[in-house]
Structure formats: C-alpha cells, structure tokens
Amino acid sequence: MKKLAIIFLLAAVAAEAQDLSTEVVVDRTVAVDLPKAMPMGDVNAELVLPQGAGGRLQSVDYTVTGDYAPMVLQSRPLVFTGIAEPSKYRGYAWLGYFPGYNLGGGAGYRLLDSQSDCLGVAAAFDGASWHGPKWKDVKPTQRYNTIDLLADYRHSFNNGAVVYGNVLYGHDGLKLPFGNMSSDKDSPQSFDRFAVEGGVSRQGSVSYSGNIFYRSFNVGKDVYIESQPGGVPTDGMHPGASDKHFGVKGHVGAEFGETSEIRMAVDAQYLDSKGYEMSADRFEAVKRGEWLVDLNPTFSFRAGALGVRLGIHVDMSTPHSGFKLRVAPDAGLVWHVGKRVEVYADFNGGQRFNTLYDQYNYSVFAPGVGIYGTSWTKIDAVGGLRIGSFGGFSADLHAGYSDTDDAVMTGITSSNMARTGLLTIPGGVSGWRFGGKLVYRYGDKVSVSAGGDVYSHNLYKGYYLVRDNARATFDAEVAVKVNEAINVAASYSLRAGRYAYLVYPTMTYKYGLGNMSDLGLRCNYRLNEQMSVFVRADNLLCRRYLVLPGVQSRRLHGLVGVSYVF
C-alpha cells in the first residue's frame, strides 16, 4: 500500500495553537482500514500527492477539501472538527487576512466529547482575488470564495469497534480568466458539493470494516466552451457537469498466530454523471451510469526479517463500452536487512472512477463541463531502500514504473491558449520514475528534509498521478522550534518541465506550462495556552506560473491571523 500523508489546514492551525505536531506514516506492507475522520479542509491547504508523485505542492491555488479516493484504504489519526486528539479543549476559532484580498477563517466545536462518543460541527471560509494573465491590455480577475460546513460523529465500543459518520456541504463561487473580454457572461462558475458517509471498523485478531457513502457534485452555472476547428459543440454556453457517486465497501480479516493474516475486501461503487466527454477528437454530450466492483483478497505473513503481502484486485466494471473484467496485482515485501536498513517493493493497480470531486481536490479551478471515464492501472510498482535513523539522519531511495489507460492528465482542447484547459487526455500513459529523500531531526528542535523525483514524461509517457506532467520535482523544508512559544518553518517546492496536452483533431502537441517554484514561510507564536498568532507567506519569490492552462498564480500572498482554542 502506498504511503499517504494527509494535511488539513484547520487541523494544523488548531494543532499549532496547542504546539502539537503529527506525522502519519503507513507501512507499505500493512493495509490498515480505520474509519475516515473528516477534518475541515480549505483552499489554503497543501496539495498532497501520493508517494512518488512529487511531494507536496504548496500553493493556495489548490485545495484539499477532504479525501475522496474510494479505492484507497487510509490510515490516519482520528481527528474530529479540526482538533487533533488528545486535547482538553472542545472548540477552536481562527481568522486570517493578507492584502489585497486573502481571507480565511473557521470554527469548530465538539458537542459531545467523551471516551466513547464524539460529536462535532465545524465551518470554514476561504476567499481570494487577483489579476490573471493580461489579454488585449485587460487584466482579468481571478477569484474564489469557498464555504464548508461539516458535522461528524464517532462511538467507540469496549471491544475496540468504532461506529462513525459524517456529513459535508460545500459551496464555491469562482471567477475565471477567459480570453473573450467582450463579455463577462462566461466568467462565473459555482459548485455545490455534498457528501455523507457512515461505517463501522474493528481491529484485532479478527478485524472487519464496513462503509457506505454518497457524494454529489454539481457545477451550477453554464460554462463557456470554445471548440476546436471542426469540433462540437459550437462556441457558447453549455451546462456544467454533475455527478452522483454511491458506494459500499468493507473487509473481513483474521490473524493466524502473530505472523500471518488473511483478508478479503470488497468495494462496490456506482457513478451517475452527465457532461461533455472528449471522444473521437471532439466533445460529445454524454449521460451515463457505471458500476465498478473490486474484489481484493490478500494474504500477509512474516518470516524472520521478511514481510510479504500476496493479493490481487479483481475488477468488474460496466463502462459505456460494455462489461469488463480485469485483474491487477496487490503485493509487496519488506526485507529488514539490518536494524536500520530495509529493502521494499510494492506492486499495485486496478480501476477507479475519475469523479468531479477528484478534479476539484486537485485544483479548485478544474471542474467545468468535462466528465471522465474509468482509469485502468495495469501496474503501479515501486521499490527502494530505506535507511535510518543514524544520528538523526534517515533516507529513502526508490524507483517505480506504472502503466495506466485513460489517465486524466492536464490537457487543452481549445485553440485559444488563454481558455482554461480541461483535464483530459485520450489513451494511456506509462513510464519510469526515480527519486529519493533525506531527513535530519535534532530532537524536537530542528527538522530538515529534502527530496525529489524525476519522471520519463513525454507525449503518452509518464506517471498517471503527476497530472501536470512535471519532469522533475523537488521539495525541501527546514522547521525550527525556537522555544516553547515560537515555531518557524521555511519550505521550497519546485515542479520543473510541466506541460499540457494540446489536442487538435489530427494531432496532439505539448504546450509548456513552465516551472512552478514556490518559497514559503510559516511562523506561529503562542501567546498563551489558548491563543496564538500565525503568519503564512507563500511565493516569496513573487514568481508567476500557470496553475492550469489559462489560470495564473498569484505573486506574494498568505495569511496573518490569530487562532484560539476553548
């Protein structure tokens, strides 16, 4: 199982106010299925990419409003309404502002807070406005305003079982930079998001879980489409896309002694969607319903210094082209060569829906009229060497290969480069990646990390999780705990050689998106046990880059504010 790091700004702000720091690491050979907590996220959260996909992209032009990756099992602390446990406080509030217009705020409270029951509610707002790329002596405005409302509940039984549920509603209002400045009728967009889920989970010698969810996403306003030569539809306003996603999943597992476990997981999903799809070099209006069922048996065991997971994904789906049965691996191993050295390998794959939530979680500017079919990853393999910790140092070196059909990558389907591009690509992508990471920790006072990856990206070659086709990524961070009251962190992120697919009726080209270079600074000053002031500054280098085709980033921006727990 791939290592995933989940970061949410509200949880971070509340944690900073309590001087807490949490790092989540999931062992590749263990599939842990904990109930999903749903702390509030917002457009100031970091874009979190899976292991090997280039690390975190620190940009407030991206958003993580909650994780909706239905085919991936997650392991994370149980966090409710933005306060990391354990905490003696039941509520929090925070507010931040940065000129010209960067505004963020949120509040949450646990209505129930006992060992067996937690019930919380929360709300968050984020907004920003800035000028986009110049067009015919006009600087169009880019803007977003987002609100999220959340309620979540958990009950813990004496036998270790947990029952949980949550509901989320979100609304987004955007203004996008379009090339046609003679009219602003095509500028606004708005989204309505709704998600509800519930389930049960228990860990132990006999483990089980069950989860049911429903999610809907609706682009409320008509969206302007500028067609290609000979393409359809014609230039003009067209209804925004929408989808409804329903799923039921669960697992049963049993341990045999202390060295082996057998597990059977089932994941059944249905997606009802309507919008425009790229087909035969043109847009076509489509409305369809699709099923996807994944059977995932695994057997894990340990033999001395060797840990092994053997399993498969048996995927049955009903895409618009008919019933399909596909098989992909789910296997891995870890060999503990020494006390501080291990060699690992992981082989995975399978089918997954590409929902509007997925597009939105990648970028708040991505949804529009486009909907996307099912992606099929034949193989996603990674292997490497982990070392540490020696005197505070640890390192990871890895290499990977993947092969995916119908991957959703950044593309342009309009002859007007200033028009926001849809995330679409015909065909599949495959390729290699290589990378590493070095970390140094000096107690709880200093933390330094640096690492990156290179990719064999080209037309129809690359890694399906790196949607901007970056050929190299690099991330570095230095965090210092000055004293019990002051924490400071500086970070740098580079995504080099980015490009989009420029799709014409007879040929596909590469359209350069340029490098994304971001230097950020975080500072938190704890005034007392409950109140803190914080400063967050992004893009200190004042560089401009394209977030998506036609969507330009801001220069220096951030938040300066105060947080309070109670």
- Say if strands 486-503 and 260-279 run parallel, antiparallel, or are unpaired: unpaired
At 399 the pLDDT is 96
Instruction: Report the distance separating Cα 473 and Cα 553, nearest Å.
Output: 18
**Structure token digits, residue 507:** 């040929």
Secondary structure (3-state) at 19: coil
Q: 10 Å Cβ neighbour count for 305?
A: 11
Q: How far apart are CA 82 and CA 92, in angstroms?
A: 8
Statement: 9-565 belongs to CATH 2.160.10.10? no
Q: What is the pLDDT of residue 331?
A: 95
User: What is the DSSP pairing of strand 236-238 with strand 324-329?
Assistant: unpaired
pLDDT of residue 112: 87
Query: Domain boundaries in the chain?
Result: 9-565
> In angstroms, how far is the first alpha carbon of the chain from the final one?
38
Phi, psi of 16 (to 5 degrees): -60, -40
Measured CA to CA in angstroms, residue 21 lies from 32, 45, 85, 282, 414 at distances of 22, 16, 11, 49, 45
Kindly report the pTM of this predicted structure.
Answer: 0.81
What sign for the dihedral angle of Cα 202, 351, 195, 86?
positive
Spatial CB neighbours of 382, under 8 Å, sequence gap ≥ 6: 2, 51, 52, 345, 346, 398, 399, 400
Nearest to 344 by CA among 360, 325, 331: 331
Question: By the 8 A CB rule, do 164 and 153 touch?
Answer: yes
Q: How many CB atoms lie within 10 A of CB 165?
A: 18
Q: What does the pLDDT read at residue 423?
A: 65
Q: Which residues of the chain fall below pLDDT 70?
A: 1-86, 133-137, 177-187, 224-236, 279-282, 319-321, 413-426, 505
Record the tokens describing residue 161, joined without a space: 């079982």
Of 307, 449, 317, nearest to 375 by C-alpha is 317
Whole-number Å distance between alpha carbons of 290 and 531? 50
**From the CA atom positions of the chain, what is the Rg in Å?**
23
Six-digit token pair at 174? 């955007």
For residue 359, the SS3 value is helix
pLDDT score at 69: 23
pLDDT at 205: 87
- pLDDT score recorded for residue 87: 72
> Torsions phi, psi of 237, nearest 5?
-85, 140
Q: How far apart are CA 467 and CA 472, in angstroms?
A: 13
Judge whether 246 and 267 are in contact, CB under 8 Å. no
- Which pair of structure tokens corresponds to residue 145? 């305003």
> In the chain, what's the furthest Cα-to-Cα distance?
73
CA atoms lying within 13 Å on the CB side of residue 129:
8
Helical spans, DSSP H, in 317-434: 356-362
pLDDT of residue 66: 27
CB atoms within 10 A of CB 248: 15
Residue 145: how many CB atoms within 10 A of its CB? 18
Helix (H, G, I), strand (E, B) or coil at 513: strand
Q: What sign results for the dihedral spanned by CA atoms 389, 390, 391, 393?
A: negative
* pLDDT for residue 40: 30
Q: In this structure, are residues 190 and 219 in contact, taking their beta carbons and an 8 Å threshold?
A: yes
